[in-house]
Amino acid sequence: MAKIEFGTALPGVTGIAEFARTAEDLGYDYLGSGEHVMFYGPVGNTFVSLSVAAGATKKIKLLSSVVLLPLYPAAIVAKMGAALDVASGGRYNFGVGIGGEFPKEFEACGVPVNQRGARTNEALEVITKLWTEKNVTFKGKFTTTNEVSIEPAPTQKPHPPIWVAGRKEPAMRRTAKYANGWIPYMYTPEQLHESLESIKRFRKEYGRESVPFTPGLFIFTAVHADRDTARQMANEKLSKQYNQDFSKLIDKYALAGTPEDCRKRLKEYTDAGATMVVTTSACPPNYVDENTRMIAKEIMPAFR
């Protein structure tokens, strides 16, 4: 079995440096951070949070999981991503998503929610050019640049790895056309396998079969010696976070149970093709550290 890389995600908006150091010391390969302008509870900004983490660590890779790309001007994201890659010594991974589950933040940012897919596709084209070329001139529907250069350019060449998150075919096509990795969430192993087959077909269609590509997975995780306690924690956390009843979705979309339960379920995902897994916490704040430790000590070694 191929070695699986593992990530964990920042569980909150405070204690970032301490958590980042802990994740690095525990042997995680990636540290993720998502974002929203506003959501159902407190949430940070991926560039700010990962910048704090970068200064507290030395080797763990930093993953935006994800940038809500349609909410930004493309050139601003290109600048921030390049700056973070340089400041971190070439550790930044650019994960993107289109959002839409909280329409108020689109309204607040002056972005029509029904344009989010088209804006994201165009932004990925612009950002890739700005990261790899000088004096970029581009005229699109949402972005115009006239001989624009981003300096310093990213440390990683040709550019920081691009990851696309999502669940549906447009996201798979976006992955095939622009990305180096696929990181879906709320997915079953069967869905993961089917999506990877589709992406493989689309990559061939776009002539990108030779571009390095990593199949990933972002999955909410609660590990506890008692199965029922783990499931209860995951249900309470996710029901609140997504403002809906998750009781019937835990088994389908999360890793929740004993270490053996989680190892068994995770193997279904790695058998389906995942070679990088971000196991983000589905636990109350007072159990996050223990959950993070248990994943590192009782799950990760089985896949390395």
What confidence score (pLDDT) does residue 171 get?
A: 98
Q: What is the pLDDT of residues 110-137, one digit of tens each?
A: 999 999 999 999 999 999 999 999 999 9
Range of the domain at 47: 5-303
Residues 6+ apart with CB under 8 A from 222: 230, 231, 233, 234, 237, 254, 255, 256, 257, 281, 282, 283, 291
Compute the average pLDDT of residues 96-109.
96
Rounded Cα distance between 209 and 205, Å, is 9
| Closest of 197, 254, 235, 214 to residue 29, by C-alpha | 214
**Number of domains within the chain:** 1
User: What CATH number corresponds to the domain at position 162?
Assistant: 3.20.20.30
Q: List residues bridging with 276 in a β-sheet.
A: 5, 216
Maximal CA-CA distance, the chain? 60
Straight-line distance from the first to the last Cα atom of the chain, in angstroms, rounded to the nearest whole number:
8
- Say whether the peptide bond before residue 152 is cis (omega within 30 degrees of 0): yes
Q: What is the pLDDT of residues 232-291, one digit of tens each?
A: 999 999 998 888 999 999 999 999 999 999 999 999 999 999 999 999 999 999 999 999
Q: Which helix (H) or strand (E) holds 217?
A: strand 214-223
Residues 6+ apart with CB under 8 A from 29: 5, 6, 7, 60, 61, 276
From the CB of residue 230, how many other CB atoms can be counted at a distance below 10 Å?
A: 28
What confidence score (pLDDT) does residue 94 get?
A: 99
Torsion of CA 20, 2, 186, 255, to 10 degrees: -70
Q: What is the pLDDT of residues 143-187, one digit of tens each?
A: 999 999 999 999 999 999 999 999 999 999 999 999 999 999 999
**Mean pLDDT, the chain, integer:** 97
From the CB of residue 26, how many other CB atoms can be counted at a distance below 10 Å?
A: 16
- Confidence band of 1 (pLDDT split at 50, 70, 90): low
